[in-house]
Amino acid sequence: MSGRKKLAMALLWLATIATALAVVHSTQRSRELTAQLGQAQKARDELRYEQERLLLEKGAWSAYSRIEKVAREELDMHVPAPDERVLVPAK
């Protein structure tokens, strides 16, 4: 083999090794990113569940019947009788 052929062969081997290392690196990076995506999707699902739970709780706390019950039982409020009502004239 001549010197040029040996040099070309060595360069091809180096290129092959570099390409193989690049493939290994990109495969590993792809696996890492896939794992991160799975974790992010799990966190998203947990946050969605928490949001739905909080919306239901908000609805329960702001329901008219609950507000009326708290006003009556805890604040000792009642609907005013007609003789307790006072009309304030508009200016």
Residue 76 Cα to chain centre, angstroms: 42
Contact of 41 with 35, CB cutoff 8 Å: no
* pTM attached to this predicted model: 0.55
pLDDT attached to residue 51:
96
Single-letter amino acid code for the residue at 59: G
Contact of 32 with 26, CB cutoff 8 Å: no
- Average confidence (pLDDT) per 10 residues, the chain, 91 residues: 90 97 98 98 98 92 84 88 88 81
Q: For 12-30, give the DSSP string.
A: HHHHHHHHHHHHHHHHHHH
